[in-house]
Structures are given as structure tokens and as C-alpha cells.
Amino acid sequence: MKLNTKQDFTDLMHRILDPLLPCYSAGGARLHLGETGASYDRNAIELEAFSRPLWALAPFWLGGGSAPEFERIYQAGLDHGTDPAHPEYWGDTKDYDQCFVEMAAIACAILEVPEKAWKPLSPEARTHLAAWLGTINHHELPNCNWLFFRVLVNLALRSVDMPWDPALLEQDLQNAESWYIGDGWYSDGSPEVKPQRDYYIPWALQYYGVLYSVFAAKEDPERAARFRQRAMEFGSQFMTWFDADGAALPYGRSLTYRFGQCAFYSACIWAGLEPLPLPVMKGIIVRNLQWWMSKPIFDRSGVLTVGYCYPQFFMSERYNAPGSPYWGLKTFIVLGLPDNHPFWTAEAAPLPVQPGVTELPAAHLLMQRTPDGQVNAYAPAEVEQNEHGQFAEKYGKFVYSTRFGFSASRSYAELAQAAPDSMLAFLIGGQIFVRRHSQSFAVQDGKMVSTWSPFEGITVTTEVEPTEQGHIRRHTVVSDRACTAWDCGFAVAKFAPGFAARAEDRTALVANDRQRCEVRGEAGAAEIVDAWPNTSLYVTNTAIPAVKYDIPVGTTTLVTEVTAFARPDASTEQ
């Protein structure tokens, strides 16, 4: 897919958004994209689907684009959705309401293009819209990135001379400041409550901070400058999450937002920031979008699906509704750039040469770029206690790879259903148990070291040490019961050209023409785990090489070496 000029990006936006046109309601305020549910009601589900395209449309209009049919729909929708007397009213809000999330895109549209999202509305419609948005100032919000939704709403209300809450705006900004950790990194809320570092930093905390630095540059120049400096620091590190072939690291929650992975760099370019040279940032954005557009992520009518590289609900969260994936459209903020901006003529440059292993201390991650180009992240299994679904899979695996992805379990009833790639999986009482979170962790001498317990009475200390083309795991298991454990490598695509699998003595190998993963134990017996279909985020069918160990009562040391090779994804090869 050619992606270089402003017209190329515009065409891609239309490719993603035009299939939605037949799905809008008669009054324009609702967008019905499917029958699956979420943890919020149908009103919020259809508002979410309506709102999220604005992350692309508003910048598109700001940059001089014209889409009359969408303009008509959104002006009608903003009128009818906020009118309590209209059948398509989005409803009165309550504490912790999903509607507050969706207000953010509407607020940004008002800030970016009031001539499209505010001025064409009748005085009565403006009053309704401002009143409905203003309800966010009278309810409780989760103490996380949601506070920035209220920040954006208050900025929007202030910009059009409607009632807003300056005290609450300042309070929310100070709360967000308290989450700052250093080196450009935040936690998504209090570090004690939400300690994990994931995509909510680049596509939420950092993204909104960059937007604030533009929207409030005159009124709050000191804080705006601080947000911009933090973005500069963060951006120089975040590139380690991207593969040269365009893939970004599959890690953490909300991965159904897909190409939102590169949205931070789009926001930086729009705001005039260069944490990396402009051509390098363009390369990251272009290759990531190309990688995603080569995957079957749309249904037959062209609507984005919930999933990752294909429709897949095992990895979804309870807040993933049919319209949720359109959050990824935040990447299209670059469409707000003028036609003569150098971004549109810059060549998409490759990633700079990077060291083999990079420690990101504030992120609690050890990043590796192997000689064949794959990115591996050595993770500490640090998570909040309020799980949103499949947290063990999203944060607890030893290593996450851009070339192999990871698997989300079907169940823990048997090994094949658990599909525990890159995990040490224990069989106890007919159930599979893995690392869900670590009791302690540290990066020591270039190794990720963690202590964890899969089951009461069993404690494991795991050292994972990168090698040139893989890693070595050393597990010290202290157990009060005899049991069995499998140390598993990456999941390799089955039904692919050149597929082969074999287990001999203490070495298990699964390979195809593009991927190869070998797992070798100093003891134990090799096995191949035939994972259940649709567990991998990357492909529908996989096999996992593993070494099976018998765990006696007492202290046992297990040493397993994992070697993995993978050619780049051909979708972005030039």
C-alpha cells in the first residue's frame, strides 16, 4: 500500500471510514456496527461508534479536507444526540459513565474545527451540546487517563464561551502531574494502584499532554512547555517498541486499538515536536499503518473488528464494543497539517541503528533488538489488581515479540487451551497455572529477575537473560507438592509454508518458512503444544515448542534456552 502524500493518508482515512456511512441512524447521532456488548449500555455503545471517527475527521477538516456527507451527519448527530427531547438522545450521564470517554473526541473537534462542530449548530443545539458536555464536571471519574477527557471538555467549553470549571481543570491537571515517573513516562493513574507501563502512556497520557500543549499554549505556557519536554524524552525511547517491518510490540491491554500504536508520533508531528527526526517518525507511522492494513482486521462490509491481527474475542476487554477499535484513528491527526508541511514530502526513513539490549528503567522493561530485527520485551508481570481480562497473557509472559506475537488462553482446563507461550505453566489438580503477577522484580546485570507464585505453596524466582538470538531462563522452584511444568517458547504459525515440528530428547522445534523457535532444556523432555485455534493474536493456528519438567517437593532449578528467528513481515518491504 502506497502511503506518502497527504492524498494517500486521506484515501486511507476514507477506506476506513466510508464503510460506516450506511450504518448511521436517521438522526445521525447513533452508529450501529454490531450486536456484541460491552460493560456499558447500547446508548453508550452507539455513541462510542459515532464519536471515535471524529479523531480522524476533525483533523481532516482542520487540514482543509472536505467530506460533506460526514459533515451533515456529525452536525445533525451533535444536535440530536444532546437534545433530551430527541429519540436519539445519548442519555443523562452518571458517575464513571462511558459517555465521558467519548466526549473527548467531540471536545477536540470543537477545539480544532469550531466552524464544523460548533458554529453551524443552532443556538439551541449549542446550548444542549454544552450542557451535555458539562455534565462531566458533576460526576466522579476513574483516577486515570479519564481525567484528561474532562480537561479537554473544559478547554472546549472555554473556547466557545460556555460554562466550564477552571478549578476542576486545574485539579485534574495536578492529578495527572502526580502520575509522572520520569524519563517521559507516566503511570495511568496512581503508580501504587496502576503500576503497569503500556500503550496508555503513548496513546493517552502523552498524547493528551501534547494536545494540551497546543490548545492551552497561551493560557498555560509553563505546563505546556513541560508536557512538550516530556514528550521529547519519551519519544526517543518509545521507538524501541517498533520493529523495522512496521509491527509494534503486542503488549498490555486495549490492543484492539491497533494502529493507535503510532498515534503519539502523529501528535508530535502535528504539534511541531521532533523527539526523533521527522523522516524517522514518518517511517514509524507509515510502516505501522502499512503493517496493519495488510492484516484481515475488517469484516466483509469494511468495518473494523474487535481483535488484533484478525477478529478475536479471547484477547478483548469488557470495554471493547463494536466501535471501540476506531480509537486507533487518533493516528490520523497528521491530516490536520497544512498541505505544504514537510511531513508530506519527507521520505519514510528507517529506524536508527539501536543497541541489541536497551533498558527502559522508568518503564520497567528490558528491550532487545536481535540481529534479524525482531523486537523482544522482557516484562516484569507488574499489573493492577483490577483486571480487565487476560492480564496474565497481556503482562505476565516472560518475553513479548513483534515477530511472534502472543497467545490469549481459551481456558486453563488443559495445556492446549491455555496456549501458554513464553510462560512456565504448572499443571495442578487438572488446571493450568502461570505467572499472573510478580511479588518482586528487578533488572539485574542485564537480566529480568522476578519472584512469583503460580499456586499457594509454590514460589518461583525466574531470571531471563537475553542472548544474541533469544534468551535463557533460569527458574528456581520451591514447591510443597509434586507437580508438572512446561517451559514454553513462542507460538509459531501452523498451516504455513514449510511448517515442521519435532520434539527429540530435551529439544523441541517448531518452524515454518518465516519463523523458527527452538526450546532446549538442560533436563526434562521435549513436547509440542498444539494450541487451540484462535488463541494467538497473530494467526489462527499455532504450535508451541516446550520442555516438560517434573517438579518434586523441595527446591528445583530449571534451565531452558529459547532461540527464535523470524524474517520481517513482507507487508512493508519496499
Q: pLDDT tens digits for 303-350?
A: 999 999 999 999 999 999 999 999 999 999 999 999 999 999 999 999
Task: Write the pLDDT tens digit of every residue in 14-26.
Answer: 999 999 999 999 9
| pLDDT score of 386 | 73
Cα–Cα distance between 271 and 447 in angstroms, integer?
37
DSSP state of 122: -
| pLDDT at residue number 572 | 55
Read off the pLDDT of each residue in 33-52 and give the average, rounded to a whole number.
Answer: 97
Angle, CA of 341, 345 and 349, to the nearest 5°: 115
Lookup result for grid cell 529480568: 448
Range 115-121 average pLDDT: 98
**Does the structure show a pLDDT above 90 at 107?**
yes
Residue 539 confidence (pLDDT): 98
Q: Which residues pair with 473 in a beta bridge?
A: 464, 560
The pLDDT of residue 184: 97
Q: pLDDT grade, residue 355 (50/70/90)? A: confident
Mean pLDDT of 195-204: 95
The domains located in the chain, with CATH, are 6-344 (1.50.10.10), 364-572 (2.70.98.70)
* pLDDT > 70 fraction of the chain, expressed in percent and rounded: 99
- The mean per-residue pLDDT over the stretch 537-565 comes to 98
What confidence tier does 574 reach under pLDDT thresholds 50, 70, 90?
Answer: very low
Residue 194's pLDDT is what? Answer: 87
pLDDT mean over 168-178: 97
pLDDT in tens, 249-296: 999 999 999 999 999 999 999 999 999 999 999 999 999 999 999 999
Percent with pLDDT over 90 in the chain: 95
| 307 closest CA partner among 36, 20, 32, 503 | 36
pLDDT in tens, 406-415: 999 999 999 9
In this predicted structure, the answer to whether residue 389 has a pLDDT above a threshold of 90 is no
Instruction: Tell me the mean pLDDT in the region 137-163.
Output: 98
CB of 450 within 8 A of CB of 380?
A: yes
- Residues 295 and 282: their CA atoms lie apart, in Å, by 20
Q: Bigger pLDDT: 353 or 205?
A: 205
CA Rg value for the chain:
24
DSSP 568: P
Q: What contacts 206, CB < 8 A, 6 or more positions away? A: 184, 186, 230, 231, 234, 264, 267
* Helix 263-271 and helix 278-293, axial crossing angle in degrees, nearest 10: 140
* 573 pLDDT above the threshold of 60: no
Provide the grid cell at 352. Answer: 536508527
Q: How high is the pLDDT of residue 571?
A: 62
pLDDT for 171 equals: 98
* CB-based burial label for 555 (10 Å; 0-12, 13-18, 19+): exposed
Cell numbers placing 354: 539501536
